[in-house]
A = this chain, B = another copy of it.
């Protein structure tokens, strides 16, 4: 029976450690906390070949996930999303080894399911009965769904402009859902006040330590799916940045376990020109970002003016010799259409941003023609109907199509 090798929580800023089995939010210094494992024991307990007989979900990496008792696992079958070769559009853009990791094929239709599955499971394990969070839509939907399954009360605050379908997802589970006439930062302040006043657990991005453990499984899967030879470049649409932080953490853990070699993929933080605080910080070689005023982009999921984990995102980029790059909304929309027409993949604008960014970085020579490149699509295009503009002929039953 596989077990978790979770040991404690540690602050990546000041180094202070915390008991993982107590309910904990941020470090006293204000930094997010990261889960730590006894990787040496995990390495001895788990062989690569053990994975073949495990179910195709993120729970296959049980030993380096934080949930200790199986009975606390709250799962809807999330994980092991496909990696799809882009053999048509890749070579057209001069990228001969381009792949799409498709996080649209997961419960709730976005990668947020990973963070919610692991975060909610661990919340259940440490005894949390109610939690609150601000969201741009998809995270709130995922946490509503998984808390419903766990029997945990859930309070969600989201901007009025967030994708409408995500409201429905929250509402149908019976979560307490509020809209705010503002941005996610405004929703965050409302949640902050509620949490302070009512002693509810704050499940905001990186304010609890386990969402990132769910997100890191994207990195574990990429390594496994490429047979433990990591790709050269991974492009990731970066809002709160938990995904890119998680992927980096996963790869470092796999290195510690000796499952991958010294080579790291160059991690690329992709943002939209309408909200690019990480890109600005990277260009200025800063260690943290500055609040981005008047943030606005069609890629709603990455409209995050100032991420709590910005310094960890930048660290992942710097330490892997990666980069940060912004693309415009019209480039995003064009990439979305081009990808669907060439490859049949209907991705969200955030995923399309990565394709546009890969194309630019190839043009600039930053990516070589034969390098192995993975773009992360964080969600299905189904959740963003408004990005597709279409005028259609309406026939009467007796009329004919025109060929």
Does residue A174 face the partner (Cβ distance < 8 Å to B)? yes
Interface size class on chain A is 35 or more
Contact call A171/B388, Cβ cutoff below 8 A = yes
**A172 CA / B56 CA spacing, docked (Å):** 30
> Would you call A94 an interface residue if the criterion is a C-beta within 8 Å of the partner chain's C-beta atoms?
no
Q: Is A361 at the interface (CB under 8 A from chain B)?
A: no
B residues less than 8 Å from A83 (CB atoms): 77
Q: What does DSSP make chain A's interface, helix, strand, loop or mixed?
A: mixed
> Which residues of B lie under 8 Å from residue A260 when comparing CB positions?
none
A82 within 8 A of B: yes
Q: Is the CB of A397 within 8 A of B172?
A: no
Q: How far is the CA of A341 from the CA of B396 in the complex (A)?
A: 41
Shortest C-beta distance, A125 to chain B (Å), equals 17
What 1/0 flags go to A333-374 for Cβ under 8 Å of B?
000110011111110000000000000000000000000000
**B394 touching A146, Cβ below 8 Å:** no
- Residues of chain B within 8 A (CB-CB) of A193 are 400
A48-106 interface (Cβ within 8 A of B): 52-53, 56-57, 74-77, 80-84, 88, 102, 104-106
Q: Are A190 and B401 in contact (CB under 8 A)?
A: yes
Q: How many copies does the complex hold?
A: 2
Contact A340 B172 (CB under 8 A): yes
Please give, as numbers and ranges, the residues of chain B lying within 8 Å of A167 by CB-CB distance: 390, 392
A382, CB-defined interface residue at 8 Å: yes
Q: Which residue in chain B gives the minimum CB-CB distance to A397?
A: B186
Asked whether any CB of chain B lies closer than 8 Å to the CB of A145, the reply is: yes
Chain B residue with the shortest CB-CB distance to A165: B385
Q: Which of A134-156 contact B (CB under 8 A)?
A: 145-151, 155
- What 1/0 mask marks residues of chain A from 380 to 392 whose CB sits below 8 Å from any chain B CB? 1111010010101
User: Taking the complex as formed, is A15 at the interface, i.e. its CB lies under 8 A from any CB of chain B?
Assistant: no
CB distance from A35 to the nearest CB of B (A): 24
Q: Does A169 reach chain B (CB closer than 8 Å)? A: yes
Contact partner of A344 (CB less than 8 A), chosen from B81, B145, B171, B198, is B145
- Contact residue among B81, B342, B383 (Cβ-Cβ distance under 8 Å from A77): B81
List the B residue with the shortest CB-CB distance to A343: B149
Given A88-B151, A169-B346, A194-B400, output 5 extra A-B contacts at Cβ < 8 Å.
A76-B345, A107-B345, A109-B382, A172-B390, A179-B393
Q: Is the CB of A337 within 8 A of B177?
A: no
The reply to whether B337 and A388 form a contact with Cβ atoms under 8 Å apart is no
Output the residue of A148, A178, A382, A399 with the most chain B CB within 10 A: A382
Q: Is the CB of A148 within 8 A of B178?
A: no
Chain A residues engaging chain B, CB cutoff 8 angstroms: 52-53, 56-57, 74-77, 80-84, 88, 102, 104-109, 132, 145-151, 155, 157, 160, 164-165, 167-169, 171-174, 176-182, 186, 189-191, 193-194, 197-198, 200, 336-337, 340-346, 380-383, 385, 388, 390, 392-397, 399-401, 403
A145, A157, A346, A394 — most chain B CB neighbours (10 Å): A346
B392 touches A190 (CB 8 A): no
Q: List 17 A-B contacts (CB under 8 A).
A: A108-B346, A109-B382, A148-B340, A155-B401, A169-B346, A171-B392, A172-B390, A173-B344, A173-B346, A179-B393, A180-B394, A180-B395, A182-B396, A190-B401, A194-B400, A194-B403, A200-B403
Q: Tell me whether B108 and A181 are in contact (CB under 8 A).
A: no
Task: Kindly list chain B residues whose C-beta atoms are within 8 Å of the C-beta of A84.
Answer: 75-77
Task: List B contacts of A106 (CB < 8 A).
Answer: 105
> With A and B bound together, what is the CA distance between A57 and B56 in angstroms?
10
Question: Does A395 lie within 8 Å of B190, measured CB to CB?
Answer: yes
